[in-house]
Chains A and B, each alone.
Chain A
Amino acid sequence: MDAIRVEGLVKTFDGFTAVDHISFAVAEGELFGLLGPNGAGKTTTINMLATLLRPTAGRAAVAGFDVARDRDAVRNSIGIVFQEPALDGRLTGRENLEFHTMMYGIGKAERRRRIDEVLALVELTDKAATPVDKYSGGMKRRLEIARGLTHRPKVLFLDEPTLGLDAQTRRHIWEYVRKLNKDAGVTIILTTHYMEEADFLCDRVAIMDHGAFAALDTPPRLKDLLGGDVVSLELDGDPAAFLDELGRLEWIKRSKFHEDVLSLTMERGERRIPELVMLASEKGLAVECVNLRKPSLEDVFLHFTGRTIREQEAGPSERNRGMMMGHGRRGR
């Protein structure tokens, strides 16, 4: 059985379509990512799956239960960590967890055991008696993740779990999320607008833009769609002969020459650089600079949505070529 099954899900707010006919399925035990910029509709999607918002149209089932008709059963099967803190600052860490476990109807002895367990897991045991108002952002986040686990959900939603956290805490949470997914077998759906987060964590990623999915696949396969690494050579001299020669090489998938910079797309670019440099000097060209870029999900995102490219590139023709190439010199 799929942990999540979504068919033609739509949500509109006063005429604005936040989520526009999305369909997907998430297998049990999968770590699934929704990647997209702010306002892409990720949180709205999560909120519908978590029964906080009612879908305008379409159907969605979580753990086999319909999110519109079987709301209590869905709520019983899920845990959710919200994008913005959803803690009561006047209560202590332990009191927040007690509130949660009691709402989920967990008995007293079991409650105490699980709370101690999750507090230890996120290393907050010695802060358990401190009011949450006095916690740092990272501590609040950890407490919320701990809370999402106390009732042992089948499906855990993490909405931007590391937003605004420092690099060290983010790393910490990543490892933790991964462990949870692999060891405890919890199905996890996370939203993020950090490419490296989706890349590092997710089995599969859906790229979301303007309320719809632009692509959905595993991170390596999404990156393969771009055809491999981009090697850029800055050349001095007349490149005609060199370009001619390159045209005969099968392993070069795409090439573009623009303002003395030659950008080539190929697999395993680092192994090809010596060969390219040698070939160039044979044809009487001086190579002044070499640049190798591995494609990231960021390139994939740009490839499918064209969004940042639209903002940064000058002319429309340039834009199209840049999109085709996964362009190597974008200022970031």
Chain B
Amino acid sequence: MRIHWTAIYVLWRREMIRYVRAKSRIVGSLAMPVFFLAFLGLGFRRMPVPGMGGGAGYIGFLAPGIIGMTLLFSSSMQGMSVLWDKEFGFLKEIMVAPVSRISLVLGRVAGGTTTSMIQGLLIFGASLLMGFRFRGPLALLFGLVFMLLISFTFIGLGLIFASRMKDMQGFGIVMNFIIFPFFFLSGALTPLENFPWVIRALSYADPLTYGVDGLRAVLIGTSSLPVVVDLAAMIGSSLVMLFLGAWFFEKSEGA
């Protein structure tokens, strides 16, 4: 199948224009992670986190989790934007274009990744203001790799749901019953070691668990799993989710 680079670029550019013009949406989507950081980070400031060495404190544990959460939400929102286009008819304009379906998926992924990386970096900046300290420039570089992989994984997931659903009505249910569990199971707020074994088993089926753990490993140097395992899991989940997302998108009808 041919890749149409101009189409990918123009889809990406549209996403950027929309992102820049929707200032209230940016502020709105950043509010929740900032509140989590502020209230949980300050509230549990003096609490030791079991299983975490290095004296990074709760903010050190929390910040990678909240960055992961921000990426989770803004990436799956890319699915919402497909449904939004469906609702407002613009999807048809995209679907009749003489462009391979894989290019449409890649354009979506490019746009969604860029916006969620911007959101993730803004939260990263906010956590620095709250006293989060990371290990240095190289750590940030590896951190970006994990952030990318988290974005890919959940953009893929968003595309799967968007292709299977007819309108935006169902998306709230998906948020509550799928996206939120992904978040809570990932150990973004609390160490996995405290969960009962049933929940822990579910946590290990959640890609975000490895994403957040990997971010902790590279940014603050402590993690519950070896960083290689985290990286391998994230690469695997990105590939699987993107493939499934593209496959469902290709199969869906445009009208």
Contact = CB atoms under 8 A, between A and B. Distances in A.
A51 B93 contact: no
A239 B99 CA distance: 71
Question: Interface extent on B, as a size class?
Answer: 20 to 34
Contacts of B88: 85-86, 88-89
A53 B253 contact: yes
A82 B92 contact: yes
Interface in B60-99: 88-99
A99 B10 contact: yes
A95 B6 contact: no
Interface string A291-303: 0000000000000
Given A90-B21, A91-B17, A75 B89 contact: no
Contacts of A131: 21
Interface string B12-26: 001001100110000
A87 B91 CA distance: 9
Which of A73, A75, A131: most chain B Cβ within 10 A?
A75
Interface stretch (A102-110, A254-262, A272-280, A312-320): A102-110
A87 B9 CA distance: 18
A104 B92 contact: no
Interface string A129-164: 001000000000000000100000000000000000
B17 A52 contact: no
A182 interface: no
B29 interface: no
Interface of A: 47, 50-54, 72-73, 75-76, 78, 80, 82, 84-91, 95, 98-100, 102-105, 131, 147
23 contacts: A51-B96, A51-B254, A53-B255, A75-B97, A75-B98, A78-B96, A82-B92, A85-B89, A86-B90, A86-B91, A86-B92, A88-B14, A88-B18, A88-B90, A89-B88, A98-B10, A99-B14, A100-B93, A103-B97, A103-B99, A105-B4, A105-B7, A105-B98
Given A84-B89, A86-B88, A87-B93, 13 more contacts: A52-B254, A75-B96, A78-B96, A82-B92, A86-B93, A88-B90, A89-B88, A91-B18, A102-B10, A103-B97, A103-B98, A105-B6, A131-B21
